[in-house]
Chains A and B, each alone.
Chain A
Amino acid sequence: MMMMSCFLLPVCAAAEESERDIYMRFMKCHKCYDIIPTSSKLVVFDTTLQVKKAFFALVANGVRAAPLWESKTQIFVGMLTITDFINILTRYYKSPMVQIYELEEHKIETWRGTHCVFITPPPLPSIFEAVHSLIKNKIHRLPVIDPVSGNALYILTHKRILKFLQLFVCEMPMPAFMKQTLEDLAVGTYANIAYIHPDTPLITALCVFTHRRVSALPVVDHNGNRVVDIYSKFDVINLAAEKTYNNLDVTVTQALRHRSQYFEGVMKCNKLETLETIVVRIVKAEVHRLVVVDEESRIVGIVSLSDILQALVLTPDQD
C-alpha cells in the first residue's frame, strides 16, 4: 500500500514548459520512505558466510540481492547480487570436469576483498536522488538504510520507482514529450547492442554480461537477427537453484529450458511507439527492458527502465 503524500502542483498557467519537468518535481517531492512497501522481507548476509551458501540462500528466500554486514566493523559494506554470482563463474570456471574451487570454498569477504567496490548509498531524502544515484552509478539495486537505527530497510529498484510513478501519472498533466516516439526522443540504445544466439555456450553469455555490463542479452537467430528469446541476469540464478552451475558449456537454449512453460515471450516494442505507450507496457509486463524490433522482429535496439527514468526524471528538458 502506498502512502499518499501531499503533492501540490503549482497552479500557474499550464504552459507546456512548466510540465516538462513535472516528473522530476514529483520525484523530488517524495521521500524514499513513500516507496517502501508496508510489509516486505529483506535478507542480510554476514560477510563470513560461505559464498556458495549465500547464493543458495538467495534462491531459498526468493530474493535476488542482499546487503552485506561486516560484524567486525558493525557496518554494511556492500550488496551481494546475481552479478557477483556471474562474475565468480566467469572468472573461475574452467570446465565441467573441474569444481569451481572459489565458489565452493570462499567466504563472501574473501570474494569481495579482491573484487568489489561498494557504492555507499548516500543519504536519500528524495526518490529523485535515488534515481540519480542508480543511473549515475549504473547500478540496479540501492539499499535504503535507516540512519537512526542503522538497519537496512529495503532495496530500491528502477522497477519499483517507475511503478510508483505510474500510479500517479493520471493525476498529473502529461508533458508533451510523452506523446513523442522513442525515435524522436532518442530513448534507448540502438548501436552496439550486445546479443547472443540460441547456440551460444552459457560461459560466453556470462562473459558478455561481465564485460559489457548489460543486464540482459536478446537471443537472435542466425538468419536475419530475429529476436527469439532473451537471457537475463536473473535467469542465471537458476544455475544455483538447480545446482547446474558447474557445466557452463551448455547452450543458452538448454539453460532456458526451465522456464519454457510459463514464459510469456520476449516483450518487444517498435521505435515508432510513443514514450507513453512504452511506459504503460513496461510497467504492466514487470520487466526491466523492452527489445526494440522492426516489423520482421529483427533486433533494432533496447530500451530499459534506466533509459526511461533518465528521460522522464533526470533530463526531461532534452529535445
Chain B
Amino acid sequence: MGNTSDRVSGERHGAKAHRSDSSGSHKDQEPSSKMVDSTDDPNIFNTHGPESKALEEKESDLIEQMNTGPQARPTVIRWAGGGKEVYIAGSFNNWSTKIPLNKSHNDFVAILDLPEGEHQYKFFVDGQWVHDPSEAVVTSQLGTINNLIQVKKSDFEVFDALHVDSLECSDTSDLSSSPPGPYGQEQYSFRPEEHFKAPPILPPHLLQVILNKDTNISCDPALLPEPNHVMLNHLYALSIKVGSLESAEILLTCFQMLLVPHEIHFST
C-alpha cells in the first residue's frame, strides 16, 4: 500500500512537474509520500509545510494559466503500444526531460499542458525511442521520425472543464479504491466564509467514457464493452470536431439497461 502510493505520487509528480516547468516557478519534484490532492477541507493544506506550498503554487499556476496567455491546453497523450515503462518528451519541453505516462487499463496516458501550435514528440518505451505509428508523423531536421500534434484553441472549449478536473484527480488505473481525501465520522458542515476556487473533483470513473471505445472488428460495430455501473445514467456534453467540420454539438448519454428480463407493456 505504501509502495503503491509512492509510485503513484511519483508518477503524478512527474506529470505535475512538467506543468510547473512550463510556468517556470518550480524546478524539482517535491519529495512527498502522501498523495497530494485538493480536498474539501483547506485545513489539510496548512498542516503539511512543503506540500501546502506546492499546492498553493499549483493552484495559482492553474489560475494564471486559465486567465493569461499563451493559452496552454490540457492535452491527453495516449500510448497503446504496450511496454512496461513509457515516457514522453517533445518540442514542448525542449526534449529536456522524459515525462512518465501513467498506466491505465490497456494503455498509458498522460495529460500535458500544451500551448497552441504544433509540437513534435516521441515516446521512450522500455529504453527505446519510438513514435506512435497510428498518429501523425513528421521527419525532423535530424532525419528522425517524430510524432506531430496540432493544438488548437477550438478543440477544447468544453473539454477545459473536464481536463482541469482530470489533472486534479488521482491516476485512472486505481478505480477500485476510494478517492483520496479525509474520511471521518463527522458530518460535513458548510462554512460559508470559505472560498473554494474550483468545483469538486470529477471522479476518475466518469472520464472513462466507453461510447467511443474501439471494439473487436469482427463484432457488430454498435456493440460496446459492458460499462462500470457507476457510469450509467450520466449525461455528458461535448463540443468536438468531427473530421474537418466546425464543432458539431454532440450529446452523449448513458442509459441503464435493466439486467433482468421484463415485460415491455404497450398502451394501445
Contact = CB atoms under 8 A, between A and B. Distances in A.
Interface of A: 3, 5, 31-34, 36-42, 49, 53, 56-57, 60-63, 123, 125, 146-148, 151, 153, 155, 160, 286
Interface size range of chain B in the complex: 20 to 34
B224 A57 contact: no
30 contacts: A3-B261, A5-B261, A31-B264, A33-B262, A37-B220, A38-B226, A38-B257, A38-B259, A39-B223, A39-B224, A39-B226, A39-B257, A40-B220, A40-B222, A41-B211, A41-B224, A53-B245, A53-B248, A56-B243, A57-B248, A63-B221, A123-B266, A147-B264, A147-B266, A148-B264, A151-B255, A153-B255, A155-B222, A160-B220, A286-B218
B242 A57 contact: yes
Contacts of A146: 264
By secondary structure, the A interface counts as loop
A31 B266 CA distance: 12
Contacts of A36: 257
Given A53-B245, A56-B242, A60-B243, A42 B222 contact: yes
Given A40-B220, A160-B220, A34 B242 contact: no
- Provide the main secondary structure of the chain B interface: loop
B267 interface: yes
B264 A33 contact: yes
B241 to A, nearest CB: 10
A40 B224 CA distance: 5
Contacts of A57: 242, 248, 250
Contacts of A147: 264-267
Nearest to A59: B243
A251 B44 CA distance: 70
Contact of A123 (B212, B223, B268): B268
A62 to B, nearest CB: 4
Contacts of B261: 3, 5, 31, 33-34
B42 interface: no
The 7 closest A-B pairs by CB, nearest first: A123-B266, A62-B221, A39-B224, A40-B222, A39-B226, A3-B261, A60-B242
Interface string B222-252: 1111110000000000000011010010100
